[in-house]
């Protein structure tokens, strides 16, 4: 399994984690921002009016309202990325990573606008009369190649099928398995409820929601999204009020480190400009999904008589998801200081490296060498051989690196009892380690545990972790709901609506199983499938840029004719 995971990571290093992917993603957003004249700013006020239903007509076709489509799409994006993703980005790239997340969201507002607009334009009805839409439909209809002899090659059909297949895999790898795994782990750590019980209860609830189709999904998400945002807002506000004197310095650090990188501070060993850039952009995409092509599937169901108005609604998504919620999480992490503080925790084997020799946290030279090593710019001797452990203490001259920090007060335990014996390590990694043996000590932490720790640094104290657990439960569960709809629309495209019920059954079954199994490989697979969705969608948008601009122009002409009393944002 580890070899398979390493192979998938190798593939991802050339695709989604490759530098070219970041430039394609940002470049597309920047191109349309300039080409359309900064629509994320000019149309923002109009977008708010549209989502309120101000310009709706009784003859509009669709299965949901603008607001329900917005909350359905938001429930698919507002999830673990807002709690765990931001924490991971700052943990690895420092405060500057949050800046690049915000930049990604800012240009992503335009990307969401154009991808929803063109996808909504080519939506259609399935054999059951339900609205079906998404990038695969515009690909099939508009991305065919016309040869000089007027012969048409159906490239769009196959490109749409490729996108739909990637959507199904991503619905499981992004919206399903990792979400319930995060929920069950968080609930177990906070409340002690067994993983299988959490998985069973939520699987039943998930089945009840998604078997009802898009109308029930929209009804649930339109109530769940505002509620979960309110819970999270209260907890975050408590942390910021408690650490109010650190808010301004935190904001300054987000921007001051952008072009210099973040220097080592506390347990944080530092991060380069490029590292923060890559982390911020990748986590930004994972958070708001701009350009991925998932949101257009939800928006396709919205009642509208033309496509651009629904594209207007989509402008609000990255703003709410990343610029608002992710910024809030980032300020909580930075103002509390938890991002650079070592805390007592149980080490994850995937985050742990054993180095030969002794490296001192107080040595500038040692910190610089470790920083270069962790960023892949230098080589240090990884430990290979036997580790002698006596009453929990390692006797060899080694340094344990956990979560990109020098671990302190390291103890090897079996349950709550100190371990004595021999452990084997190969190239810095433990081999043949029993699941009962764990490493504990003080180190940096990341992802959801880091956010949970930050929430305890307020007037709530230890109660703050419950807010994160509840927030993660609501966020991640709503993500699973929305991605089930994305997957069933992809199944409809590939095989027809009669096969959707089988997909939903499998989706719920895997949701239950993932509550108590390791999903490391699924996370890795999700990185690849996200890229497989995003790349053809971005290329399609760029190829259709003239049609998109013409469609927007026609919208404003029609708008002025139908609503002469309204001010145009054109």
| pLDDT tens, per residue, the chain with 570 residues | 567 777 877 887 788 777 788 889 889 999 999 999 999 999 999 999 999 888 888 777 777 888 888 877 777 666 667 777 788 888 888 898 889 888 888 999 999 999 999 999 999 887 777 888 899 999 999 998 887 877 878 889 999 999 999 999 989 888 888 888 878 877 887 788 898 999 999 999 999 888 877 777 777 777 777 777 788 888 889 999 999 999 999 999 999 888 888 888 888 888 888 778 877 777 776 677 888 899 899 888 888 888 999 999 999 988 988 888 889 999 999 999 999 999 998 888 878 899 999 998 888 888 889 988 887 778 899 999 999 999 999 999 999 999 889 999 999 999 889 999 999 898 888 887 666 788 999 999 888 788 888 999 988 888 888 888 888 888 888 888 889 989 999 999 999 888 999 999 999 999 999 888 766 676 677 778 888 899 999 999 999 999 999 999 999 999 888 877 666 555
380: its two tokens: 């240090």
Packed helices 44-51 and 66-77: angle between N→C axes, nearest 10 degrees = 110
Fold of 2-242+273-333+456-562: Amino acid/polyamine transporter I (1.20.1740)
How many CA within 13 A on the CB side of residue 85? 31
DSSP sequence for 29-84: HHHHHHHTT-HHHHTHHHHHHHHTTTT--TT-B-SB-HHHHHHHHHHHHSSHIIII
Rounded Cα gap, residues 83 and 448, in angstroms: 6
The set of residues, in sequence order, having a beta carbon less than 8 Å from that of 32 and lying 6+ positions away, is: 39, 110, 111, 113, 114, 541, 545, 548
Rounded Cα gap, residues 159 and 32, in angstroms: 22
Per-domain boundaries in the chain? 2-242+273-333+456-562, 343-443
This model's pTM is above 0.75:
yes
């Amino acid at each position: 399994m580890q070899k398979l995971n390493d192979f998938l990571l190798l593939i991802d290093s050339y695709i989604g984690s490759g530098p070219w992917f970041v430039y394609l993603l940002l470049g597309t957003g920047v191109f349309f921002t300039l080409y359309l004249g900064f629509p994320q700013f000019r149309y923002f006020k109009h977008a708010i009016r549209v989502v309120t239903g101000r310009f709706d007509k009784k003859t509009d076709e669709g299965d949901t309202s603008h607001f329900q489509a917005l909350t359905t799409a938001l429930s698919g994006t507002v999830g673990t990325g807002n709690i765990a993703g931001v924490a991971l980005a700052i943990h690895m790239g420092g405060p500057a990573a949050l800046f690049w997340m915000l930049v990604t969201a800012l240009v992503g507002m335009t990307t969401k606008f154009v991808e929803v607009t063109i996808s909504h334009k080519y939506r259609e009805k399935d054999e059951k009369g339900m609205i079906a839409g998404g990038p695969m439909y515009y690909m099939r209809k508009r991305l065919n190649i016309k040869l000089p002899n007027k012969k048409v090659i159906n490239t769009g059909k196959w490109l749409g099928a490729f996108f739909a297949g990637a959507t199904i895999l991503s619905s499981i790898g992004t919206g399903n398995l990792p979400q319930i795994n995060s929920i069950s782990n968080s609930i177990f750590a906070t409340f002690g409820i067994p993983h299988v019980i959490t998985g069973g209860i939520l699987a039943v609830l998930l089945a009840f929601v998604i078997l009802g189709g898009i109308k029930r999904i929209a009804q649930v998400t339109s109530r769940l999204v505002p509620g979960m945002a309110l819970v999270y807002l209260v907890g975050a506000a408590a942390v910021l009020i408690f650490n109010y004197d650190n808010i301004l310095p935190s904001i300054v650090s987000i921007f001051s480190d952008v072009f210099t990188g973040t220097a080592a501070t506390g347990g944080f060993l530092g991060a380069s400009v490029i590292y923060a850039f890559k982390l911020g952009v990748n986590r930004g995409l994972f958070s708001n999904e701009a350009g991925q092509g998932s949101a257009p599937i939800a928006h396709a169901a919205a009642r509208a008589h033309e496509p651009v108005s629904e594209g207007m609604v989509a402008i609000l998504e990255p703003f709410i998801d990343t610029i608002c919620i992710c910024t809030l999480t980032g300020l909580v992490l930075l103002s509390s200081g938890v991002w650079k503080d070592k805390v007592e925790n149980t080490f994850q084997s995937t985050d742990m490296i054993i180095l030969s020799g002794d490296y001192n946290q107080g040595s500038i030279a040692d910190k610089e060498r470790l920083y270069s090593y962790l960023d892949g710019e230098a080589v240090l001797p990884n430990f290979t051989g036997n580790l002698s452990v006596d009453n929990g203490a390692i006797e060899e001259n080694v340094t344990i690196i956990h979560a990109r920090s020098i671990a302190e007060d390291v103890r090897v335990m079996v349950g709550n009892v100190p371990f004595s014996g021999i452990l084997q390590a190969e190239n810095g990694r433990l081999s043949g380690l029993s699941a009962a043996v764990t490493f504990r000590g003080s180190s940096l932490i990341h992802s959801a545990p880091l956010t949970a720790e930050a929430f305890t640094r307020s007037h709530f104290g230890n109660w703050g972790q419950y807010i994160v657990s509840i927030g993660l439960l609501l966020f991640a569960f709503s993500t699973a709901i929305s991605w089930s709809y994305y997957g069933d629309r992809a199944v409809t495209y590939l095989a027809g609506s009669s096969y959707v019920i089988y997909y939903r059954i499998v989706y719920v079954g895997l949701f239950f199983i993932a509550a108590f199994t390791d999903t490391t490989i699924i996370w890795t697979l999700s990185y690849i499938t996200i890229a497989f969705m995003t790349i053809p969608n971005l290329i399609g948008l760029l190829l259709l840029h003239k049609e998109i601009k013409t469609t927007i122009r026609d919208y404003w002409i029609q708008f002025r004719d139908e609503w002469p009393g309204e001010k145009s944002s054109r």
